[in-house]
Chains A and B, each alone.
Chain A
Amino acid sequence: MSARGILSLIEIKGLNAKIDDKAILNDFELRVAPGEIHAIMGPNGSGKSTLAKVIAGHPAYPVSSGIINFQGVDLLSKSPEERARAGIFMGFQYPVEIPGVTNSSFLRLALNTARSSKGEEELDPIEFEDYLQDKLKMLDIDPDFLARSVNEGFSGGEKKRNEILQMAVLNPRLSILDETDSGLDIDALRLVAGGIKKLSNKDNGIILITHYQRLLNYIKPDFVHVMYKGSIIKTGGVDLALELEDRGYDWIVSD
């Protein structure tokens, strides 16, 4: 699907997943090359969130057939934590609250786990503090965030910004952001979108799952896909998103 680059970051082929005998992913195909941003849109229940969870390895979403090749590695044979350490990041639509665990200790453990799995040295709390300060500044996040328990008592916008902070800290190769824009007011949306944009670079790939075109006002995707009944039924550029905003999905779905 990607015209650019021969080496893809992730290649998904013939992916099928079922829940209670209901097909949620139906011969799904997608290829993302480094430096690309893909937006996946589509009506409710088309399988967008399932796709994100399947890539991240959620145990409640078993794959019945298909291949996910991530930088030459068979992703489906890996546990969720191995996938994360290999450079997959999922931004949650509903980030989970973890009372009693501070954001900073959570972030440090996550980063150090990833570093040690790559044979890099772990950061001690002071080094980590320095590392973190840069990220906070870049995303314009209040340092108070760090002393709070992970997502506990966070507003919807704060939770989403916290996801982007985690993304910045972990510096993943591929991020799948599941409706990161939902439930945000316009200011929060601008902050979150700005963060994602800053984190996008020529080496990483981003998949944005979204309902609304408005996110794409801030982040220009290279590809816009429409997902329906578990597979991609149309692919285009930013113009497609604008057209969807205008006309809805019916005209594609009923084709």
Chain B
Amino acid sequence: MNTSIEDFVNQPYKHGFTTAVEADVFAKGINEDVVRLISKKKQEPEWLLDFRLKAFRHWKTLEEPTWSNVTYPKIDFQDIAYFSAPKPPKKKSMDEVDPELIRTFEKLGVPVSERAALAGVAVDVVFDSVSVTTTFKEKLAKVGVIFCSFSEAVKDHPELVKKYLGSVVPYSDNFYTALNSAVFSDGSFCYIPKGVTCPMDLSTYFRINTQESGQFERTLIIAEEGSKVSYLEGCTAPQFDTNQLHAAVVELIAMDNADIKYSTVQNWYAGDKEGKGGIYNFVTKRGLCKGYKSKISWTQVETGSAITWKYPSCMLVGDSSVGEFYSVALTNHKQQADTGSKMLHLGKNTKSKIISKGISAGFSRNSYRGLVKIGRNATGSRNFSQCDSMLIGKENSASTFPYIQVDNETGVVEHEASTSKIGEDQLFYFASRGIDTEEAVSMIINGFVSDVFVHLPMEFAVEAANLLGLKLEGTVG
């Protein structure tokens, strides 16, 4: 017990390497020519360029939002490169992919190629801005599932992309969605046809590799009537002492009786102990439960980024649709997280659930921000929210900002919140039973997050548990 709890929240970042691949990087700065150049590089159709330009023109009229509970120096948007691709931009098969890249993914523990086969996971990997390879495409094609990079989807399935792009998150939604819509470089696309249960979990691994570049990817998932899919997303970035911007947009659409489960383990580089470097993660994720009895479930484990600004949401339009949000957000050192969910009940008998677990260590700041709205016509709808915070140490803070708006008198909204602390007295209690501090902290944390972890797919739950352990355990063995 000679070691304080603070010693345990010290763990070097494991993914802080860079990969020596030649990259095609644009000069820094943004203007209409850059937007056109991105579109041209990607040989995009006219309608997509129009979409980008509209978004860009709108973005220019916007101010950076300042309402979240985070502070950081003003971002110079002219000091960011808006496109970076490993050169040459696209390979046809795994064999042709730069071995240096493959090694990177191996270091990251990404199951590509044979590893993918063993793991039974189809992986789309977005490296900086360009999707490198998509495994298992053929097997998925047999049941009609389309899973490819966003660029490929634009080429091969333009009608789907055109129909749904921006339909859940319009470019005008906020400052960062406008920016993303103007300059997004790639991302993932997924289409599950009517009645199909996707035979395997689909997975995307995002990585930022270049120091001066921003990453702006889009994910679009469409689940047709009666279909079902589980989608996993992982993120890492190398260690730089400057900040990189990540502004992604994720759109999900679920038709009648469709079920989308979206799981994220976010481990972007968080900056060093003093708060130098790290990713600014400003992400807009939203799901549209369009159909009757459709269901969208978000599960996220947020451990990285210098700043996280993220509110995966559900628009419950279809009658009897269901939205869920399960979140663990861990902040340490000088990390700041402002994250939560929005549940908008518009259809009748819609249900939603929010379970949020925030863990703050070091000098970090961790906020839950959520909105539950029961619309005028959403008769018989209900929400349950539970927001728990845990503090480790004395110099950090946890805040909860729940917004509740009920416009239908039959609506039922329940909100529970708690704050707890891993105290010296608890650790002494463990010690007096022979259990050392490290095991005690891990046991308390595992107990704290278990309500969320049960919703992660098995292999992801293991990874997430390891990650939390890594972030919290220290140098003392």
Contacts and interface: CB of A to CB of B under 8 A. Distances in A.
Interface of A: 56-60, 79-81, 84-85, 89-90, 92, 95-96, 98-102, 105-106, 109-110, 113-114, 117, 149, 166, 170
Contact of B432 (A60, A80, A98, A101): A80
Contacts of A109: 435, 439, 443
Contacts of A149: 447
B65 interface: no
Given A57-B432, A79-B2, A96-B426, 14 more contacts: A56-B432, A58-B1, A90-B432, A96-B423, A96-B429, A98-B429, A100-B446, A100-B450, A101-B447, A105-B443, A106-B433, A109-B443, A110-B434, A170-B434
Contact of B426 (A80, A98, A105): A98
B216 to A, nearest CB: 38
A235 B431 CA distance: 32
Interface centre among A98, A105, A113 (most CB of B within 10 A): A98
Interface of B: 1-2, 420, 423-426, 428-436, 439, 443-444, 446-448, 450
Contacts of B423: 96
A96 B429 CA distance: 7
Contacts of A89: 432
A242 B430 CA distance: 36
A81 B430 CA distance: 8
A110 B430 CA distance: 8
B431 A79 contact: yes
A57 B426 contact: no
A99 B447 contact: yes
Contact of B443 (A60, A85, A106): A106
Interface centre among B2, B420, B430 (most CB of A within 10 A): B430
Nearest to A101: B447
Given A79-B2, A99-B420, A101-B447, A110 B433 contact: yes
A166 B432 CA distance: 11
A152 B450 CA distance: 17
26 contacts: A57-B1, A57-B431, A57-B432, A59-B1, A59-B424, A79-B1, A80-B428, A80-B431, A81-B434, A84-B432, A92-B432, A95-B429, A96-B426, A96-B428, A98-B426, A98-B429, A98-B430, A98-B447, A100-B444, A105-B443, A109-B435, A109-B443, A110-B434, A113-B435, A113-B439, A170-B433
Given A79-B2, A99-B447, A105-B443, A58 B434 contact: no
Given A58-B428, A79-B1, A96-B425, A85 B434 contact: yes
A82 to B, nearest CB: 8
A81 B424 contact: no
B434 A84 contact: yes
Nearest to A151: B429
B434 A113 contact: yes
Nearest to A59: B1
Contact of A81 (B1, B420, B444): B1
A81 B443 contact: no
Contact of B1 (A80, A99, A101, A113): A80
A255 to B, nearest CB: 36
